[in-house]
Structure 1
Amino acid sequence: MKEKKEFIGFKVQNQLAIGKGVFEPPLRYQDSLVNEARIVHVVQGRSTLICANNVLNLSPGDTVLLKSDNFVNNWHALEDSSLVEIMGFQLTSSILQAVYSEQVPSQFSASTNRVSYSALRLPRTPILKGFFDGLYTYFINPESFSQPIVEVKVRELIELLLQTDSDGSIANMLGDLFSGSEYKLQDVVQKHLYSNIKLNELAFLCGLSLSTFNRRFKKVYGTSPNQYLNSKRLEKAQQLIQSTDDNLTSIAYDCGFEDLSYFSRLFKKYYQFSPSELRKKR
């Protein structure tokens, strides 16, 4: 079957600034933002956005601000086989300079206070919803979307975000928007100990090649990543099987295993009895 994929975008000074994408899930990919940031609004679809220090589950109507960093995005297949549809803004220093011909807002000035998050879910407000509903009209009538209007829409969205910034988290993010982040390997590993994530993705979130990640991991933990992660996940699964009535599929998923049969085989090899046999022993 041919993959369904559509994209329409509009530029500022020859740089993509606003776009709308439509594609068929499931789709899982790594995304590296260097000296750029994005604002993504989910029109339709569900995603698990994996950051080095956080995991966000996104659903229709959600809007997220992403600073310069590495991300793993997992768009899930939908029960009704519908397509994913998103609208997004790309922000770079040069786009901001073009959009704000006089002076870029002070909130974008480099801050000495580094934020501890690389993705921020924005508040759901009627005004923000109205903004994206109105923006959608331009994608239906792309001939009306001139560069001056694109610039106005970028400024309008930023102004709306600042107006909804009740706790200062958005302003803090804007001040650290284009600064790359560095993470301790241990922090990323412990954050995603029970996440459904591959080793190459863990390495990517740490900003390391897979070979460097494996070498540093063994130096820190004294064993290979697979051995360590599997043992921790199986130990948690054993505890959940004995202490809860959750079904085995849910337990496997909560412990970082997507394939129940693989989980069962690994569990039996580790404990010498299957998950279902352990459940019967309670």
Structure 2
Amino acid sequence: MIINRDFFDLDGKVIIEKVKFLPPFKVSTRMDNEACFLHILNGESELFIPQEKISAKSSDSLFMKCGAYTNFWKGNKDASHNEAILVHIYPDILKKIYDNHLPTFLTENKGNSHVTAERLKLSPMIQNYTASLNFYFDHPSMVTDELIQLKIKELLLLLVNSHFSKNLSNMFCNLFNPITLDFKKMVATHLFEDISVQDFANIAGLSLSTFKRKFQQVYKVSPKKYINQKRLEKAHTLLIETDLRITEIAYDCGFNDISYFSKSFHSYYKKSPSIYRKLEKESNRIT
């Protein structure tokens, strides 16, 4: 639940914003013609993109090019609010700022970017930059269109001239060019995460109906049936080959409800997880 949101806009678009919200909180968004810098002032999140899951915490920063994102903000142990600063970057705003003469780091092709987002290394420069934004949120009357444009330029130069990430230079020259979705790789990457079919669709940047139709075409089975089967097969392997507790196995395989996991396992293997493990161990001792 969003508690408070302050922002500065330019040409009718929100450019810099500061958001305070109560976790747990899930945000799914598709940025078709936008890039974004996100700095976490307080909180912890897991950002899901097609290629991976990126964990971030207080003082961490993320840079995201155009693409589909699902961000799971975790609850805090002290029940405190989460807070983040975001800077949104649009192609038409960049053209305005640079008077249609974009700098080479935004146009020079340095190879394709294989990821849509990167977590940036902790740096005093980023901390100073976000501190300056905090100052302006405390003194909004000082903010002008010219200042907003300068803060965008400052951010881009700060990132491009620092070694926060090896992928940033490739991302900059392809900010608004989407990466082709590798559907099967995306499914395999997140198969054992505690996420729903709807979340898979959000990560892929597809509607639920389109995702289900695509999944059926690729795997010849419904996503719910396939995902459940693969998670149960992994659980079966862990039951036999490890001494992990059943609750740990359930969580490792993407089940957050132990009762549902046990019921699903019994339905698939005709025995409860504990009985199945016990019988397998007895069988191995005999042989």
Q: TM-score, normalised by structure 1?
A: 0.91
1:18-67 Cα distance to aligned partner (Å, 9 max, x none)? 11000111111310101111000011111111111111011111111111
- Counterpart pick for 1:185 among 165, 183, 186: 183
Q: How does 1:207-226 map to 2 (within 5 A)?
A: 207-226=205-224
2:255 aligned with 1:257, yes or no? Answer: yes
Alpha-carbon distance, 1:132 to partner: 1.4
- The verdict on how the C-alpha distance between 1:102 and 1:203 changes in structure 2, with shifts beyond 3 A counting, is closer
Q: How does 1:114-133 map to 2 (within 5 A)?
A: 114-133=112-131
1:63 corresponds to? 61
1:76 corresponds to? 74
Identify which range, 121-130 or 109-118, moves more after superposition: 109-118
- The verdict on how the C-alpha distance between 1:167 and 1:66 changes in structure 2, with shifts beyond 3 A counting, is closer
Q: How does 1:88-107 map to 2 (within 5 A)?
A: 88-101=86-99, 103-107=101-105
Alpha-carbon distance, 1:167 to partner: 6.3
1:255-278 Cα distance to aligned partner (Å, 9 max, x none)? 111222211211121122222334
Unaligned runs of 5+ in 2: 282-287
Is the Cα contact below 8 Å between 1:10 and 1:16 reproduced in 2?
yes
* Whole-angstrom CA distance in 2 between matches of 1:4 and 1:181: 30
2:37 aligned with 1:35, yes or no? Answer: no
1:223-249 Cα distance to aligned partner (Å, 9 max, x none)? 221111111111111222333333333
- The verdict on how the C-alpha distance between 1:102 and 1:4 changes in structure 2, with shifts beyond 3 A counting, is closer
SS at match of 2:78: coil
* Whole-angstrom CA distance in 1 between matches of 2:137 and 2:210: 44
1:49 corresponds to? 47
* Whole-angstrom CA distance in 1 between matches of 2:166 and 2:215: 36
Is the Cα contact below 8 Å between 2:48 and 2:54 reproduced in 1?
yes
Letter in 1 for 2:16: I
Identify which range, 65-74 or 265-274, moves more after superposition: 265-274
2:168 corresponds to? 170
- The verdict on how the C-alpha distance between 1:122 and 1:200 changes in structure 2, with shifts beyond 3 A counting, is same
Over the aligned positions, Cα root-mean-square deviation in angstroms equals 2.0
Q: How does 1:203-242 map to 2 (within 5 A)?
A: 203-242=201-240
* Whole-angstrom CA distance in 2 between matches of 1:115 and 1:139: 33
Is the Cα contact below 8 Å between 1:165 and 1:171 reproduced in 2?
no
* Whole-angstrom CA distance in 1 between matches of 2:182 and 2:155: 34
* Whole-angstrom CA distance in 1 between matches of 2:17 and 2:84: 8
2:285 corresponds to? none
Alpha-carbon distance, 1:76 to partner: 1.1
Identify which range, 80-89 or 241-250, moves more after superposition: 241-250
1:107-153 Cα distance to aligned partner (Å, 9 max, x none)? 11173732110111112112212221232122122222222222222
Number of matched residues?
A: 280
Percentage identity across aligned positions?
32
Alpha-carbon distance, 1:4 to partner: 5.0
Q: How does 1:257-276 map to 2 (within 5 A)?
A: 257-276=255-274
Identify which range, 24-33 or 216-225, moves more after superposition: 216-225
Letter in 2 for 1:36: E
Is the Cα contact below 8 Å between 2:192 and 2:252 reproduced in 1?
yes
Alpha-carbon distance, 1:279 to partner: 4.5
Letter in 2 for 1:244: T
Unaligned runs of 5+ in 1: none
Compare CA radii of gyration and give the structure with the larger one: 2
* Whole-angstrom CA distance in 1 between matches of 2:267 and 2:120: 45
SS at match of 2:51: coil
Is the Cα contact below 8 Å between 1:182 and 1:206 reproduced in 2?
no
Letter in 2 for 1:176: N
2:133 aligned with 1:135, yes or no? Answer: yes
- The verdict on how the C-alpha distance between 1:247 and 1:134 changes in structure 2, with shifts beyond 3 A counting, is farther
